[in-house]
Amino acid sequence: MDQTEQLLKDLTEAHGVPGYEAEVRAVLRRYLEPWGTFEQDKIGSLVCVQTGQAERPRVMLAAHMDEIGFMVRHIMPEGFIKFLPLGGWFDQVLLGQRAVIKTHRGDVVGVFGARPPHLLTNDERKKVIEKKEMYIDIGATSAAEVEAAGVRVGDPVVPLADFRILANPKTYLSKAFDDRVGCALLVQTLAACAHAGHPNVIYGVATAMEEIGPRGARTAAELVDPDVALILESDIAGDVPGIKAEESSIKLGKGPTLVVYDARMIPNLRLRDLVIDTARELGVPLQFSAIEGGATDGSLIHLHKTGVPTVVLGVAARHIHSHSAIIHRDDYDNALKLLTALVGKLDQATVAALTQ
């Protein structure tokens, strides 16, 4: 495993559902430590400040630390655990998967279950089983056993999955690439910019609580007060069976993505064009995505104070919002190259010209 693979493994295997980002934050502090000084907002967003050759502009790079997960909602007398989702889960991806309950006494492992198919009628078997019919089974036979294991209502529940390099060694499988791939880019962009130099101050921000409707982005923007913002995200690959090109043309390995539209933000068009021009100069392939059914931290950051020129850059992932998403190393490396060059261009005059 090289440095990037180790970073992606450490970040994606860390447990961090919304409101419970401490483990991810600790990994990030360890990796970011050489590249700046830290600040933190009061709901958990971590800011790493790296001063370059000028005090302004303030360039905010933002990636969210949290991943989609669950919370313990109710302990049944028979020892099964009902849960509520934190973030957007598709019912079909859950049954048979493992999860970790983060209790005050340590980790408790369980599996998502429902009524076994053998005991269903033919009609029942054809229906999608919804989350509300499911439970987490930790192997207990009574509520007392669940409580003895340390489980409390309100405990965070994290999907359990490990990082793997696949048969094509440029493709990686793991949970939580949304948005630990952005967190990894944050670390390596700050490292690259420290070596290359930059005409601004970089605020590398790992935000808390994005997946439940962005929250940490608001408090972090208050702390940073950015002049310009680049959001580092995972994006949705459309190169799977059943998706038409007009629905998504994003393919694994064909370049980082530039989000031209999402449900809650239109990017600053001059900043968008600066991204396109910079990619061309570097020979970095770029893909364009429009996401009608989603939004990012950018939705809050671009509305900070009187407005902040903002754009979202992504690394495509297949099977996002499940225990096992897939990304491509070329997209990651090209995103890093593009980000580093962009930050190097964002001087006072360039940023001022974005909104004149």
Q: Which parts of this chain interact with Zn ion (CB under 5 A)?
A: 178-179
Round to whole Å and give the CA distance between 241 and 326.
15
* Shortest CB 297 distance to Zn ion, Å: 8
In this structure, are strands 80-86 and 171-174 parallel, antiparallel, or unpaired?
Answer: unpaired
* Shortest CB 210 distance to Zn ion, Å: 6
Round to whole Å and give the CA distance between 9 and 237.
21
Is 155 or 178 the residue whose CB approaches Zn ion more closely? 178
Annotation says 210 is catalytic: yes
| 3-class DSSP state of 319 | coil
Is 81 or 230 the residue whose CB approaches Zn ion more closely? 230
Starting at the edge strand found earlier in the chain, the sheet holding 310-317 runs: 37-40, 46-51, 201-207, 58-64, 228-236, 310-317, 257-262, 287-291
Q: Which of 21, 67, 210, 233 is catalytic?
A: 210
Is 66 or 330 the residue whose CB approaches Zn ion more closely? 66
Is 99 or 317 the residue whose CB approaches Zn ion more closely? 317
- Angle (CA) 109-114-118 rounded to 5° is 125
Instruction: Of 82, 69, 60, give the one whose Cα is nearest residue 19.
Output: 69
* Shortest CB 296 distance to Zn ion, Å: 6
Instruction: Of 354, 356, 274, give the one whose Cα is nearest residue 313.
Output: 274
Is 114 or 295 the residue whose CB approaches Zn ion more closely? 295
- Angle (CA) 235-266-47 rounded to 5° is 65
Neighbours of 172 (CB within 10 A): 24
Is 81 or 326 the residue whose CB approaches Zn ion more closely? 326
Is 140 or 291 the residue whose CB approaches Zn ion more closely? 291
For residue 177 the two structure tokens come to: 């690439």
At 68, which helix (H) or strand (E)?
none
* Shortest CB 178 distance to Zn ion, Å: 4
* Shortest CB 113 distance to Zn ion, Å: 28
* Shortest CB 260 distance to Zn ion, Å: 17
Round to whole Å and give the CA distance between 335 and 85.
31
* Residue where the block lists tokens 């998504």: 248
Neighbours of 341 (CB within 10 A): 18
* Shortest CB 220 distance to Zn ion, Å: 15
Instruction: Give Cβ neighbours of residue 203 (< 8 Å, ≥ 6 apart).
Output: 47, 48, 49, 58, 59, 60, 61, 224, 226
Tell me which residue has its CB nearest to Zn ion. 179
Are 101 and 17 in contact, with CB atoms under 8 Å apart? no
Residues in the chain: 356
Round to whole Å and give the CA distance between 269 and 330.
26
Greatest C-alpha distance within the chain: 70
Q: What are the residue numbers of the active site?
A: 210
